[in-house]
Structure 1
Amino acid sequence: MYRAILTAAALAAATPLAAEPIRFAVTDIEGLEALQQEFAAFETALEEVTGMEMELFPVNSRTAAVEAINQGQVDLVLTGPAEYVVIKELTDAEIIAAWQRPNYYAQIVTLSAGDVESVEDLRGKKVTFGSVGSTSQHLGPAQVLADFGLVYGTDYEPQIISRNVAVEALIRGDVQAVGMNEGHLQSIREAFPEQSFTVIARGRDLPNDVLVARKDMDAEAKQKIADAFVNDGETLMAAVLKGDDNQKYKGGFFLTSIDDSNYDYVRDMYATIGVDTASFVGD
């Protein structure tokens, strides 16, 4: 009996405790159910190629994601470029991989039959932007106008209005331009087929979405995950595309040779609207 107890104790000492699962969050998805609908297949695929257990971890806001990183509650966070620069400043998280979104750029849209034919025609006019702090609906379009020489809040009047409401205001003549991305333009052309819209300016391709890791996450685990995006990228992307809202990544791929400086253009956007990167726009 004594020998049996010693043997059991020896086995217990020699067997490492089960590793904690790698917890994965996404900043623009609220609730576990929605997160599972979009990323359950990706969770499974990442487990299979890394041999590590994954766990989906819902956060109800980008601020909650920062708190979860700093408290060690989450290991990986997928976020957009505008959110990334704030998360980097507040947590010093490390980039694992960028997730490319094809045709991801900001543009300024007007009515084809309207009086605005160039960016210069927007001086003194009203320009609307979508979701506050959004890379492609707010910060990006504002930077497009800045790149063409128009100062935010000085050379034109910026307004934050939801996209469809803004387009209706554009049609009525209450505003003169709307900032949006390419996918949004396709949607409004479908929603308002009787209208003709013109892009008077578009920006450079926006930096990609990015998967970051908590700085003090286990180094070996981080390397395994980074290697998975290099060696099994097609498998992981196929799993990502199982989610309906993840179709924005269709035709894209993962990039692992990404430096924080690739997001300086986004930091310029914050400066353009007069906000620093110590907090999220609108918080």
Structure 2
Amino acid sequence: MTLKTILMGAAALALSASALAAENWKLAVTDVEGMERLQVEWGPFKDALETATGDTFEFFPVNSRTAAAEALRGKTVDFVVSGPAEYVVINKLTKATPLVGLGRPDYHCAIIVRADSGINVPADLKGKKVAFGDIGSTSNMLCPMQVLADHGVDPVNDIDKTHTSRNIAHEALKAGDIDALGANANSWLNVRNKETDLPYGFFKMIARSGDLPNDMIMVGAHVPADAAETVRTAILDNKAQIIAGITAHEENDKYVGMDLVAIQDGAYDYVRLMYANAGYPQFDNFIGD
């Protein structure tokens, strides 16, 4: 047997061992419904993930946050991209844990009023009508309610609250039909900046949160710890490529400028407090589902 034959055989064995060591994982994204949208919006991320880890990731479409939790509990999905509010419920129901944080820039919420309203601090909103965004949203509902609570205003009993879309709430505030709106600060500014017939000082923010806990990639409790750590390390070691994959589609523009960071469960205790102050102290059900 020649040396060349021996080396070729060794290479083939190494390649075979590598292939056997590769894992096949299932991946879900909680706020994206349908396989087509997953492939279009998150396909580049999946490709980057496979390149970084050497593993295979298959999309697992879910039509609700509850479906994602059930899939984790049933071990039919392994990794889930999700937001902070979804995570605390999924963690309670399934013991899934954070793997990598998706650090969104300027991710915080605010309470906005008209500048001519005479409302200057959150306490002035007691008895007033306040609009929030989607029920269960971290930055458009839970966070602004927590901001009120942080300033001594009970968001359940002290205000007349309503829920509507950000654009509708903006128009209602502009018309004086509501007294304030609570929203993701950056998202509201995007709406405000499209106004062409209002002076810059027409609105004012009277309170804002600190930066919110990160969106994340979470891992199911059934995934072996060493395998999860291998995936985490590969993601953090190849973060530029992973970030490029996430931000490749315009639907993920909220992540432009992001970082990928290691995170722990304790970072989400503030979100658990949000649930409690919004009137859902058990945080074991998805609000609005």
Matching residue's letter, 2:270: Y
Partner residue in 1 for 2:152: 149
2:169 is aligned with 1:166: yes
Alpha-carbon deviation of 1:21? 2.1
Name the CA distance, whole Å, in 1 between partners of 2:227 and 2:23: 11
Name the CA distance, whole Å, in 2 between partners of 1:140 and 1:123: 18
Alpha-carbon deviation of 1:165? 1.2
Name the CA distance, whole Å, in 2 between partners of 1:212 and 1:265: 18
Name the CA distance, whole Å, in 2 between partners of 1:218 and 1:273: 35
Name the CA distance, whole Å, in 1 between partners of 2:38 and 2:203: 35
Name the CA distance, whole Å, in 1 between partners of 2:41 and 2:283: 29
How big is each residue's C-alpha offset from its partner over 1:57-107, in whole Å with a ceiling of 9 and x where there is no partner? 111110000011111111100100000000000000122111101100010
Alpha-carbon deviation of 1:133? 0.6
Name the CA distance, whole Å, in 2 between partners of 1:157 and 1:193: 30
Tell me, which stretches of 5 or more residues in structure 2 are unaligned? 1-15
Partner residue in 1 for 2:185: 182
Name the CA distance, whole Å, in 1 between partners of 2:216 and 2:164: 27
Name the CA distance, whole Å, in 2 between partners of 1:17 and 1:226: 20
Name the CA distance, whole Å, in 1 between partners of 2:264 and 2:227: 20
Alpha-carbon deviation of 1:157? 1.2
CA 1:17–1:225 in 2, change beyond 3 Å: closer, same or farther?
A: closer
Deviates more, 1:158-167 or 1:141-150: 158-167
1:104 aligned to which of 99, 107, 110: 107
Contact 2:133–2:183, Cα closer than 8 Å, also in 1: yes
Tell me, which stretches of 5 or more residues in structure 1 are unaligned? 1-13
Name the CA distance, whole Å, in 1 between partners of 2:244 and 2:33: 23
1:242 aligned to which of 237, 245, 248: 248
Q: TM-score, normalised by structure 2?
A: 0.88
Matching residue's letter, 1:134: S
Partner residue in 2 for 1:282: 288
Alpha-carbon deviation of 1:265? 0.2
Q: TM-score, normalised by structure 1?
A: 0.90
Matching residue's letter, 1:259: Q
RMSD: 1.9
**Count of residue pairs brought into register by the alignment:** 270
3-state SS, counterpart of residue 158 of structure 1 = strand
3-state SS, counterpart of residue 99 of structure 2 = strand
Matching residue's letter, 1:272: N
Mapping for residues 239-278 of structure 1, pairs under 5 Å: 239-256=245-262, 258-275=263-280, 276-278=282-284
Aligned sequence identity (%): 43
2:97 aligned to which of 90, 94, 97: 94
Deviates more, 1:242-251 or 1:271-280: 242-251
Partner residue in 2 for 1:199: 205
Name the CA distance, whole Å, in 1 between partners of 2:76 and 2:196: 47
Name the CA distance, whole Å, in 2 between partners of 1:129 and 1:34: 27
